[in-house]
Chains A and B, each alone.
Chain A
Amino acid sequence: MNEEMLEIPYEIPEDARNPVEPFLRMDRMPHIWCPACGIGTTVNCFTRALLDSKANLDKVAIVSGIGCTGRVAGYARLDSFHTTHGRAIPFATGLKLANPELQVVVYSGDGDLFAIGGNHFIHAARRNMDLKVICVNNMTYAMTGGQTAPTTPGTAITATAPYGATEPTFNLVALAEAAGASYVARWTTYHVKQLARSMEEILNKKGFCFIEVLSPCPTLYQRRNKMGDGLDAMKDYKAKSKVRNGAPTSECTLSKYGEIVVGKFVDRERPDYLETLKAQMTEALGDRYIEPEGTCCSEC
C-alpha cells in the first residue's frame, strides 16, 4: 500500500472521540481481534444501530457464547454476559423471561450458535422467544485455530480438514426461517449501512430475530485457502453479493466461490413466547392467573 495514502490532510483535535466510544468498554481496549477481522466492523454497525434506535442502554443486555465473536459481550458497555460454549441463547432466555423489559441481544459466532448451540437456536426460534440474535459467520472456528465449522463450505481447507472439507453446510437463514424466526436477514461486513439498518430494525421488532453477517477471517480461513487479505475479502463480497430482499431462503445456500445472496428474507408477525403464554394462562385460569412480572424477588 502507498504510504502517502495514510496521511490525513487535517488536524485531529486532542479531545476528539470516536462516536462509538460511549458504547464500548474503552478500558478493555485494545481488543483481541486480528487486523482485518470483520467482527469489529459488525460491532461498529451495532453501536450505530443502538444509537439510531434510541434504545435505553441501561435496559439492553448482551449475551455471547464462546469464540472470537463470543468476546463482543466483553467489550460492549452494557449489562453483558460471556456464557458457556453454545449456551448464550438459553441464558438469554432466562434473562428475558425474568425481566421482560430488557432488550436481550445474543451476539455470537457460527460455530457457537449452530454446532454446539444449534439445538438451542432452533428451539428459541420455534418459541419465538423475544431475542435478537446476531451471528458473525466467518465459516470457521477461529479462536481455536481455524477448524471446520458446520458453515465451512465444501472443499475449503481447515486445520481439521487439511485435504478439504467434505460435509454439506448449514444454510443458516433457511434454518432460521424453518424453525420459526420472525425476522431473518443476511449481510456481509461490506454492507455496513444495510447491516446497521437491519440491526436497528430488529431492535424495534418483537419476537425471535436473526441476522447472519458474513465476516472475513484473513488469519485462518483465507490464509489456508489462499484467498488473500481483508481487502480482498471486501472486494470478493462486493463482487459476489446480490441483494435480493424477500428471496426464498432455500435459494441462499453459501458456497466457497459462489454468489452470496444478501438482504432481508423474512419479516413476519407471530405472537412471541410471553404473549402466547399469558393468553393461554388467562384462558385457562381467568382471574387466578398472576402475570410473571413478579419473577423478581419480592424485595426488589
Chain B
Amino acid sequence: MHADPRGVLTGVHFIDGDHACCEGTLAAGARFASGYPITPSTEVVERFASRIPTVGGLFIQMEDELAASITLQGAVWAGAKAFTVTSGPGFSLMMEHIGYAAMTETPCVFIDVQRGGPSTGLPTLPAQADMMQARWGSHGDYGIIALCPNSPQECFDLTITAFNLSEEFRVPVMMMLDECVGHMTEKVVIPEAEKIEVTPRRYTTQTPEEFHLFEPKADMVPDMVKAGDGYRFHVTGLTHDERGYPSMNTETQDVLVRRLLDKLKPLANGRALCETDGLEDADVVVVSYGITSRVAQRALQMARKQGIRAGKFRLISAWPFPAERIAELAGRVKAFVVPELNMGQMVLEVERAAAGKAKVISLPHAGGTVHRPETILKAIVEAAR
C-alpha cells in the first residue's frame, strides 16, 4: 500500500541524516516514538517531537533507554508503528528489549547513530563499532536485520525499508548510522506519498477461537493482533508454544529458536541489499558500509585509474550477512579489503564466508574520524600484487 500523505513531506530538502531518518519514520507510517536524549542521535526525535503533533501521533521522552526501548513495544501491541533512537551507551541499555522484541516477534525499528566507544567514548565523533552488538548484543539466539545508510537520502529511503522489513519478518530492525552520516547535510528528495510503498501490518483474519498467536504461516512468520480487539492473547518473553503460553521444555525451545533464525534466511541470500560495481573482472573487492563506503569509493576510483581491477561491494543490509554472495566472489577474486571504523568486526564475517578461498585484509580504525582514501588505496595495491 501507499504511504499516508499526512506523514510525507514531499519535496527537495537540504537536511542531515538524522533529520532524514525522522522523515523516513513519518513516511513509513510511524506515529509513535519513545526516546532518551543522546548525542549524536537526538536530532531524530527532536524533529519527530516537533512534527508529530501536526501529523497525528505521539512522542514521549522516557526516563532512560531501558524504558524507551520497551515503551515503543507496548505501542506496537496497541497497533502503532513505533521506533526509538539512540547511540552506543543507550544502545547497550536497549539490548534487553531488542531480545524481548526478537522473542515476542514485535515489529519495530531501533535507530543507532554510532559514536566512538567503548563506554562514553567519543560522544560527538563517528565509529562503526556497534555492528557486532547489533547482531549479538542481547543474550540467547535470535535474528535481527541491520541496515547501513551512507547518505542522508539513504537515511530517508532505508528507514522506510526498515519499517517495511520489520512488518514482513516481525523482527527488530536496526538502522546503523554513524555520526558522519547522521550529521552530514545533503540533498534529500522525498517523493509523493503514492510513490512510497509501505508494508501494512499483517493482522489475522481468523476468529479469536481459531487464532493462535505464534502459529507460523507459510513464510514462517505468524500473523499479528492488537490489544483491545477481543483476542485475549498472551505475550511473554519466556519460551512459548504456538498459543503464546510459556512452555519450559526443550522441544518447544528448539522449534521456537530455530524459527526465529530461519525466518530471516530469504534476506540473508537472494534478497540481501547491497551495491556493487566492477565485480565482473575484479581482482580485489573492497567490502565496506556506511560512511566508510564513501571513502572507499574514492580509493576505488584511484585504483582503477592505476589500472588495478578493483571492485565495490557495499553492504546495505549488513545483517543478515550476505554470506553466499561473498562466498561466490571468494572463488574468483584474489582478495577482499575491509575498511571499517572499528577494530575489525564485519571483516570476521567476510573471513567466515570467504573460507580461505581469497585473502581477507582488515583495515581497522579506532574511530573519531574516517579512513584516508590513500590508506585503503595502499591496501588495494598490495592486495592486487
Contact = CB atoms under 8 A, between A and B. Distances in A.
A66 to B, nearest CB: 8
- Residue with the greatest number of chain A CB neighbours at <10 A, chosen from B29, B64, B77, B238: B77
Contacts of A289: 53-54
Contacts of B237: 82-84
Given A90-B66, A298-B4, A61 B54 contact: no
A93 B234 contact: no
Interface string A264-283: 00000000000001000100
Given A79-B231, A87-B67, A94 B79 contact: no
A292 B56 contact: yes
Nearest to B74: A94
A288 interface: yes
Contacts of A5: none
A54 interface: no
A123 B4 CA distance: 33
Contacts of B64: 119
A45 B133 CA distance: 45
Nearest to A280: B53
Contact of A80 (B31, B229, B233): B233
B80 A297 contact: yes
Nearest to A278: B53
Contacts, number: 181
Interface in A12-48: 25, 28
A73 interface: yes
B72 A94 contact: yes
Given A87-B97, A97-B32, A123-B63, A295 B78 contact: yes
Given A84-B70, A298-B29, A95 B78 contact: yes
A123 B77 CA distance: 22
Contacts of A123: 62-63, 67
Q: How extensive is the interface on chain B, given as a class?
A: 35 or more
Interface in A34-80: 57-59, 61, 63, 73-74, 77-80
B75 A95 contact: yes
Nearest to B208: A58
B364 interface: no
Interface string B196-233: 00001101000000000000000000000011111111
B232 A79 contact: yes
A83 B82 contact: no
Contact of B78 (A28, A58, A98, A298): A98
Given A93-B74, A97-B32, A74 B245 contact: yes
A82 B235 CA distance: 6
Contacts of B74: 63, 81, 90-98
Interface of A: 25, 28, 57-59, 61, 63, 73-74, 77-84, 86-87, 89-99, 101-102, 119-120, 123, 277, 281, 285, 288-300
Interface of B: 1, 4, 6, 29, 31-32, 34, 52-58, 60, 62-64, 66-68, 70-82, 96-97, 100, 200-201, 203, 226-238, 245-246
10 nearest A-B pairs in the assembled complex, by CB-CB distance: A94-B74, A294-B56, A98-B78, A290-B56, A98-B75, A90-B67, A95-B74, A82-B236, A94-B75, A99-B78
